[in-house]
Structure 1
Amino acid sequence: MVSFTLAPEYGYTIAVSIVSNLLVTYLGHKVGAYRKEAGVALPTMYADDLEAKKDKKKMIFNCKQRVHQNTLEGFTTYMISLMVAGTQYPTASAALGLVWCAGRLAYSAGYTSGDLNKRMWGAWGHIGEVGLLGLTGKMAYDLLMSA
C-alpha cells in the first residue's frame, strides 16, 4: 500500500486549478456576450458556414465558440494531470498549469482576432499539458517500480 502526505505547496496546485476553472468560465462568458452582437440565436451552437463567410461577426463568434469548445475538450485530462502530478510535484505542476492557462489565453486572443493563423500564438501552452502528463507518467512509473 502506498500512502502520501500532501505538502503545503499543494496549495499552489489547488490555486491553479481555481484559476483554470475561472479561465474556462471566462471563455464561456466571451461566447455568450458576443452571441447577441453576432446575431446567433440560441440554441444554435455555431453560425452557419455560409453566413460566417459573409459576416465577420459571425465568423468571430464561431472562433470564440471554438476556442471555448476546444479548451473544454482537453480540460478533464488537464485537470486530472494537474491534481495528480501536484501531489508529488506541487510547485512544478502549478507552474506547468499556469503555462497551460497562459497558452489558452494566447490561443484565444489569436484565434478570435479574425486571422485564423494567429491561433498558433498559444501553441506553446501545450508545454504545460505535456509536462503535466510527463510528471503523472513519472509518478506511475515510480509507483509500479516500488511494488
Structure 2
Amino acid sequence: MAELQLGLEHGWVLTAVVATVLIHHYWMPYHVISARKTMEVFYPHLYAPPGHKHEKRFNCIQRAHQNSLENQPAFLVLLLLAGARFPKSASIAAAVYLLGRIIYFLSYSSGRPSRRHRGAFMHAANLALLGMVGRWAWELLQSAP
C-alpha cells in the first residue's frame, strides 16, 4: 500500500484551492452582483429577460460565472488528487488554469461571447492535471502484487 506524506510543497496545492474558492465564489459573484445592479436585472431572474436592454451583456457575465462553477468540481478533484502525488506540477497547472479562468471570465463578460476563447489555454492545464492523476493511477496499478 502506498503511503502519502505531505511536505511544504503541498502548501501550494492548498493555496490553489483557496484561490479557486476566492475567484469562483467571491471575485466572480462580485462582478455578477455589480452587473445585476447597474443593468437592473433583478431577482428572481437568473438571466436578463428577453428584450431587456442589457440582455446580451448581462447574460454573458452570468454565463461566464455559471460555466466556471460548472467546471469547478472536476478541477478541484483533479487538483487535489494530482497535488497529492505531484504537488509542484499540480500547483503550476492550477495557477495556469486559474489565470485562464480569469481571462475567460473577463473576456466573456465583455458581451462578445467569441472573446471567451482567449482563456482556452486553461484546458491544457486541466488536461495536465488529468495526466498526472492518470500517471499516478498507473504507478499504483503497476505496484500491485
Matches within 5 A, 1:1-147: 1-25=1-25, 26-51=27-52, 55=53, 57-147=54-144
TM-score by length of 1: 0.92
- Deviation (angstroms), 1:48: 2.3
- Distance in 1 separating the partners of 2:111 and 2:63: 13
C-alpha contact (below 8 Å) 2:58/2:111 kept by paired residues: no
C-alpha contact (below 8 Å) 2:61/2:111 kept by paired residues: no
C-alpha contact (below 8 Å) 2:60/2:112 kept by paired residues: no
C-alpha contact (below 8 Å) 1:27/1:68 kept by paired residues: yes
Tell me the matched-pair count: 143
- Distance in 1 separating the partners of 2:92 and 2:14: 12
TM-score by length of 2: 0.93
Structure 1 stretches of 4+ moved >3 Å: none
Structure 1, unaligned runs of 5 or more: none
- Distance in 2 separating the partners of 1:23 and 1:108: 10
Amino acid of the structure 1 residue aligned with 2:62: Q
- Deviation (angstroms), 1:50: 3.3
Greater helix share, structure number:
1
Let me know the Cα RMSD of the aligned residues: 1.1
Amino acid of the structure 1 residue aligned with 2:114: N
- Deviation (angstroms), 1:58: 2.9
Amino acid of the structure 1 residue aligned with 2:35: Y
SS of the aligned residue for 1:50 comes to: coil
